[in-house]
């Protein structure tokens, strides 16, 4: 008995979900472990006192970020915590619904979920996010960030590749094998455009 069109082989879908969960879990756990080490007395790092790691280019500068990514919207940590719950639900739905079609999509969604979870844990327990990675030259510095922020930023770059760059390189979802299925896919695409607009 053949599977319905558009459905993934069970093994492929299962593998994608495992990879998705492993990426998200690895990002969230490594983010929390590194934060725990940085804030521990054994690390020797003090809040708001930069410590050079690779000269002035890479420093540990421990701060409490009560806002969002890159320190935006300070004082809104509880709001971001609530939003994150919705984001996690959307990411899970997206992976279950379509991540299996592309490993790049699975990796992107896994990074986003891991980053969201890492910072959500901070906001839930502390009402702020622990940031500590400080890169730059002299007084020209980037926003202080953490592992979760890095995962989200990388995922954003991959999203640009998936949605804007890949189609121009001829990378598409596998086409359906008959005209009827092709028309259904086209109709669904048009409907989604109307909903967005």
DSSP sequence for 158-177: HHHIIIIIHHHTT--PPPPS
Answer whether 70's CB lies under 8 Å from 149's CB: yes
- C-alpha distances (whole Å) from 61 to each of 4, 68, 105, 125, 140 are 54, 17, 33, 21, 15
pLDDT in tens, the chain (197 residues): 445 555 556 788 889 999 999 999 999 999 999 999 999 999 999 999 999 999 889 999 999 987 655 545 555 555 666 677 777 788 888 888 776 778 888 999 999 999 999 998 998 888 889 999 999 998 888 889 999 999 999 998 988 887 777 666 555 544 433 344 444 445 445 544 444 44
Q: How many domains does the chain have?
A: 1
State residue 46's pLDDT score: 93
DSSP 3-state assignment of 61?
A: strand
**pLDDT at res. 95:** 81
**Domain assignment present for 124:** yes
Report the pLDDT value the prediction gives residue 58, as an integer from 0 to 100.
Answer: 95
Q: Domain range spanning residue 178?
A: 10-196
CA distances from 169 to 14, 106, 109, 173, 176 (A): 28, 19, 21, 12, 20
Whether 5 is covered by a domain: the verdict is: no
Note the pLDDT of residue 188.
Answer: 46
Q: In angstroms, how far is the first alpha carbon of the chain from the final one? A: 39
Q: Identify the active-site residue in 31, 61, 122, 131.
A: 131
With respect to residue 4, please indicate whether it lies within any of the assigned structural domains.
no
Identify the active-site residue in 149, 178, 179, 187. 149
Residue 189's pLDDT is 52
Domain assignment present for 74:
yes
pLDDT for res 130: 94
Tell me, what's the pLDDT at 166? 62
189 catalytic per annotation: no
- In a domain, residue 154? The reply is yes
Phi/psi of residue 163, each to 5°? -90, -30
- 130-186 per-position pLDDT tens digit: 999 999 998 888 889 999 999 999 998 988 887 777 666 555 544 433 344 444 445
For residue 160, what pLDDT is reported? 85
Q: Is residue 3 part of a domain?
A: no
Q: What is the pLDDT of residue 89?
A: 81
149 is a catalytic site residue: yes
Is residue 25 a part of any domain in this protein?
A: yes
**Within-domain flag for 72:** yes
59: Cα within 13 Å, side-chain hemisphere: 24
């Amino acid at each position: 008995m053949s599977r319905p069109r558009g459905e993934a082989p069970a093994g492929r879908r299962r593998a994608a979900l495992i990879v998705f969960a492993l990426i998200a879990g690895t990002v969230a756990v490594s983010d929390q472990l590194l934060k725990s080490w940085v804030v521990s007395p054994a690390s020797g790092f003090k809040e708001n006192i930069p410590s050079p790691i690779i000269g002035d280019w890479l420093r540990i500068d421990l701060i409490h970020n009560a806002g969002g990514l890159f320190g935006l919207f300070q004082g809104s940590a509880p709001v971001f915590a609530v939003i994150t719950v919705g984001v996690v639900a959307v990411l899970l739905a997206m992976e279950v619904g379509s991540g299996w079609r592309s490993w790049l999509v699975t990796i992107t969604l896994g990074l986003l979920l891991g980053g969201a979870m890492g910072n959500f844990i901070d906001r839930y327990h502390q009402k702020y996010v622990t940031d500590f990675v400080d890169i730059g030259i002299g007084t020209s510095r980037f926003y202080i960030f953490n592992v979760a922020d890095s995962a989200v930023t990388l995922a954003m770059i991959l999203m640009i590749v998936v949605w804007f760059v890949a189609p121009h390189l001829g990378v598409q979802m596998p086409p359906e094998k008959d005209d009827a299925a092709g028309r259904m896919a086209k109709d669904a695409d048009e409907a989604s455009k109307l909903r967005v607009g």
